Every structure is written in structure tokens, then in C-alpha cells.
Structure 1
Amino acid sequence: MSTTAVLHAEWIKIKSLRGTLLPLLAVFGATLAVTVLAFATVGRAEADNADAEPVFDAFYALNFGQIAALGFGTTAVSSEYVTGALRISLAAVPRRGLFYAAKTAVVGAAALLVGLATSFAAFLAGQAFLGEHAIGLGHPGALRACVGGGLYLALMALLATGLTTLLRSGVAVLSLLIPFLLIVSFVVGDVAGGAAQFLPDRAGQQILHEDPAGALGAWQGLAVTAAWTAAALLAGWWALRRRDA
């Protein structure tokens, strides 16, 4: 099969499987819903706080969107292991490198498009409730954060894709990543101090700050997350090459 045909086949899998498509749509839906709920209720009160950080606070709901992004990256791979469809896929595309590259490319592209739409929509929707406290895309760091937020969500989806290919279990990956992002990362941050800024979520979210603190700047932090993602994808590629379907 040609590269174009393989890419098209992977896109068909994503849009035709409800278990894969719904997490992708939930990236946008969950983030926007939490944004509207939070900013409509306590948005103005928090914006008037002396410690408020208007750019970073605008992306509060991305903490929920990234869980959906992990779910999308996981199910895009695990569905083939669960149903046994991987054997059919590899029979149709014996070149495992082409198969894996096409899958990660389609997952990454879909997550990036939805991630960018999510990031911009969440920012603009939140500001609509802040009245005189609202900021625009021209505010220092705001446009960078919107673009970076979309990139961050795509990287998290690809991180899950690589780990799922390595472990061959979506349940195992989500059981590992979700507690890590919601609990372990904060505990390690309190204990390890500066070392915690190199964790994938904390490093990547530096892009959401107007003035990032610590050793990592905005784009350097996102590069650290990209390095974690690349390592996971390479590990997944190693596992796919060496193991039977």
C-alpha cells in the first residue's frame, strides 16, 4: 500500500470507531464545558485576586482536556489489540515502520487540530465572562499560550500512543498516566523541588505561563515534553518491531 493509502486507512479507523472518536471530541467538549462553568461562577472573583495569573488561569480547564487527549491516544492503538484487528492491519501493511508512522501521524494531526481549536476556544470563552478583567490575544504571552496549548495536547496524545504500543494495554497506560498527572506530579513537585519541572506535564505547561518561572522557559519546557513523547514513541516502535501481533 502507498503511504497515502495507509494514512487514509488510519483516518478511517479513527473516525469510524466510536471509542476512538469520542475521546477526541471530548478534548474540545470537556475543556470548553469546564471553562464556561468555572469562569461563569468564580471567574471574576479569581481574576480580582492579587495572585491571579490571567494567561495561565485562562487554561485551567486544559487539565481536564489532557485526560481526554490521553484517552484518544490510548484508544487509537488499544482498539486494535483488543479486537485482534492488528493482525489484519499488519497483513495489509507488512511494513511495520510505515504502519506505525502513519498511525502516529494521523493521531498527532487530529490531536493537534482539535487541540488548537480547544485552546483558542477555551481562552476566548473564558474571557467573555471576565468583563473589565478580560484580556485579549494581544496580551503578552496569550497567543503563544493558545498555540502552545494545542501543541501540548497533541504531545500528550502521542505520549499515550507510544506507551500503549509498548505495553499493549490501554487500561494499563491510563492507570499509569492519569494518577501520575493528577496526583504523583504534584507530590513529586513538593518533594523534589526543581527536578519536578522536567516532568512531562509540568514542563509542557510552562508554555501557558506569561512569565515562566524556573530553569525552563516556555518553548524549552514544551521541548522537554516533546522529548518524553519521542522516547515513548521510539519505545513503542521497538516493541512493535520485535513482538508478534
Structure 2
Amino acid sequence: MPFAPVLHSEWLKIRTLRSLLAGLAAVVVVTAAFSAIAGLDASSDEDFDPLFSAFFGVSFGQIAAITFGAQAVSSEFQGGALRVSLAAVPHRGRWFAAKATAIGVPALAVGLVTGFVSLAVGKAVLGDRGSGLSWGEGLRGVVGCGIYLALMALFAAGLTALLRSGVATLSILIPFLLIVSFVVGGMSGTVADFLPDKAGQVVLHETAEGFLGPWTGLAVTGVWAGAALVAGAWSVRRRDA
């Protein structure tokens, strides 16, 4: 079967599952809500970063993004759905590529919308404190937000394919993002800079600190996502459905 109809069938699965659509909507709502809260509490000291304040909600919205990626893949391991999918598309690599594309494209689109909404909400709440943000910085934040959220969704998708469980994936990633990330958040210039979330979120800061710049940080997150997808593809190809 050619790639296009395989991709179409995987997209149908996603857009017909309400939980997945709700997960995508939650990315926008949660990110914008926490960005607004951060803007209300933002300080005016010399370390204040108006760009990151506007996109602060991404730290929580990414939970919805990884949940979307994990659920989209874990649904295949329930009730023998994967056997049905592979009976229709025996080329397992092609099927997994279509699945990853069907996850990554809507995650990127929603991520870009999330970026625009967060920037608008953040600047509105910040008021005069956000007046220093340039057009270029705002655009970089919006594009970086979209790419980052898409990469995190793909990272979760690859890990779920490897572990064959959405629960296991979320049990690893959510504590990591909510606990480990905050613990090492101020440790710039160390190996912590290369963690998937910390590296990718450099693009959301007005001034980069540590080893990585805005786009090299996203590249590091892309390497993490790519490695997870390769591991997931290996699992799908080598293990019984």
C-alpha cells in the first residue's frame, strides 16, 4: 500500500478519537492559562525574562502534548488493534512512519496556534513589562513553541512504541518533566542543558544561557525524539503484534 492512504487512515484514527482531540485542545488551553498566571506573578527585577514569562505555560502544556503522542500509539496495543493495522499494512516501517507523521503534523499545527495564543495572552497580561519584546523574539518564540511541542509529542510516541504502554511512558515522562526539570532548571552550563525539555525550551528565553542556543537546543530535543522514534520503529518491526 502506498504511503498516502496509510497516512490518511492513521489521520482518521486520530481525528475520530475524542480523547486525542481533547488532548490537542488541552495543549492550547493549559499553556495559555499558565502563561497568564505567570504574567500576573512576574517580577520586575533585572533577571526578569518577558519572553519566557509569555511562554511559561509551555512547561505545563507539554504534558498534554506528550499525553497526545502516547495515547495515539498506545491505542494500537489495546484489543489487538495493532494486528489489524499490520494486516492492512504489512510493511511495518511504512505504517510506523505514517503513524509518526499523523502525530507530528497536527502537534506542530496546534503548537504554532498555542505559540500565538500564549504570546498574545502573555503580552496582554504583562502590559508595560512586555513592551521590550521585539517582533523577531516573539516570532522565534511562536515557531520554537510549535516545533518543541511537536518534538515532545513524537518523543512520547516513540517511547510508547518501545514500551508498548502509554501508562508506562507517562509514568516516566510526567515526573521527569515536573520534578527533575524544575530541580535542574537553574543548572546552566552543565550536562543538564542537554535534557530534552531543558534544551528545547532555550528557544523560549530572551537570552540563551549555558552551552546551547535557541536552535541548537531544539536540535538536541530533535535528537532525543529521533532516537525514541528509531527505538519505537525497531520494537514494532522486531516484536510480535
Q: Which runs of 5+ in 1 are unaligned?
A: none
1: CA distance, partners of 2:131 / 2:75 = 42
Q: Secondary structure at 1:130's aligned position in 2?
A: helix
What's the offset of the Cα at 1:137?
6.7
| Contact 1:204 1:224 survives alignment (8 Å) | yes
Give the structure 2 partner of residue 21 of structure 1: 21
Tell me the CA shift for residue 23 of structure 1.
1.0
Q: Provide closer, same or farther for how the CA distance between residues 136 and 157 of structure 1 changes in structure 2, counting only shifts above 3 A.
A: farther
CA–CA separation in structure 2 for the residues paired with 1:191 and 1:220: 18
Q: Is 1:142 aligned to residue 138 of structure 2?
A: yes
Question: What CA RMSD, in Å, does the superposition of the two structures yield over aligned residues?
Answer: 1.8
TM-aligned CA deviation for residue 136 of structure 1? 7.6
Cα pair distance change 1:53/1:36, threshold 3 Å: closer
- Residue 160 of structure 2 is matched in structure 1 by 164
CA distance in 2, matches of 1:138, 1:236: 40
- Partner residue of 1:8? 8
Amino acid at match of 1:6: V
Aligned to 1:244: 240
Q: State how far apart, in whole Å, the 2-side matches of 1:62 and 1:126 are.
A: 12
1:35 aligned partner, one-letter code:
S
Per-residue deviation, 1:130: 2.5
Q: Any conservation in 2 of the 1:74–1:170 contact (CA below 8 Å)? A: yes
Structure 2, unaligned runs of 5 or more:
none
> Counterparts of 2:132 and 2:77 in 1: how far apart (Å)?
45
Number of positions where the alignment pairs a residue of Structure 1 with one of Structure 2: 241
Matching of residues 169-208 of structure 1 within 5 Å: 169-188=165-184, 194-208=190-204
CA distance in 2, matches of 1:9, 1:205: 33
Offset from partner CA, 1:93-133 (integer Å, 9 cap, x none): 11111100001011000100000100111111111123222
The within-5 A match list for 1:48-87 is: 48-87=44-83
Residue aligned with 1:102, SS? helix
Other-structure match for 2:104: 108
Tell me the equivalent position of 1:34: 34
1:96 lines up with 2:99 in the alignment: no
What fraction of aligned residue pairs are identical, expressed as a percent?
A: 56
Report the Cα distance in structure 1 between the residues aligned to 2:143 and 2:187, rounded to whole angstroms: 31
Indicate if the aligned counterparts of 2:69 and 2:153 stay in contact, CA closer than 8 A: yes
Distance change in 2, residues 1:194/1:156 (3 Å): same
Q: Return closer, same or farther for 1:9/1:110 CA change in 2, 3 Å cut-off.
A: same
- TM-score of the two chains, using structure 2 as the length reference: 0.94
Contact 1:137–1:143, Cα closer than 8 Å, also in 2: no
1:170 and 1:61 mapped to 2: Cα distance? 23
